[in-house]
Structure 1
């Protein structure tokens, strides 16, 4: 497992495989993204997207996928609104082009802070106590 990148895009979180990993294996394919509510460890699914028939999206073809974005060939579950002050967990399932590569997925935790034009995406580092508690502080 690797650490996913989470960055803001037009007020929404945008998810990506780290650039160094995408450069190392540009033919690796994103097969699914799942976002869950991490506050109080409820793990309620907020949104997911996956590729069934097309085999996935090459990681070299996108810089990030915004929350709720469904590329051609993808299928999506219903989208729930992300709320201010909540912690979320994202996982990206990836199929590497080299079977000897053990990296099959990436994950991260993040918070939504603020609303409207003031909305920010705040990563939760694994070293933070908030990683275990699912809190936004």
Structure 2
């Protein structure tokens, strides 16, 4: 029961943090594809090169821009007990649905084509005020095969480029 309560708190924190920021207001998570599923990593820079503490991650479905509903949680990973962490390294991704050693996770829900998803990695480099790395992505069907597509942010128009997912 305590674990379930902790997951709800973690999901609430991620939801609030992910909806409060937009565009490039914080560092981008890296989203790649491994065996047809998204895989999530921290970016490589001076602060992250040697690895940083990762406390959890949340994959959620982003509602349409007209919706007033919060994002729906699809999969979350947390490191227990609260305050514990595992080391996240650039170029070492966490594949959707695969729980890292030292973490606990729920059962992932199936990702659907042309839906917009967000990833929030709760990680903090030492001596930094960055607390999360985020990105948006979707699953596209290309020739009958699922392909992970990162949704880019356009600084000029100040908006996400959802058209890459055939979602307007």
Of structures 1 and 2, the one scoring higher in RCO (CA 8 A, sep 6+) is 1
Partner of 1:72: 101
With normalisation by structure 2, the TM-score equals: 0.69
Instruction: Please state which structure has a larger fraction of its residues in strand.
Output: 1
Unaligned runs of at least 5 residues, structure 1? none
Cα 1:116–1:13 shift into 2, 3 Å = farther
1:27 is displaced (CA, Å) by 4.2
1:47 aligns with 2:75: yes
| Higher CA-based Rg | 2
State the number of aligned residues.
Answer: 133
Segments of 4+ moved more than 3 angstroms: 132-135
Task: Classify 1:10/1:102 alpha carbon distance in 2 versus 1 (closer, same or farther; 3 Å).
Answer: same
Q: Please report the TM-score for the alignment, with normalisation by the length of structure 1.
A: 0.83
- Measured against aligned partners, the alpha-carbon deviations of 1:27-56 in whole angstroms (never above 9, x if no partner) come to 411111101111425511110001013822
Give the RMSD, CA atoms, in angstroms: 2.8
Gaps of 5+ in 2: 1-25
User: Does 2:29 align with 1:4?
Assistant: yes
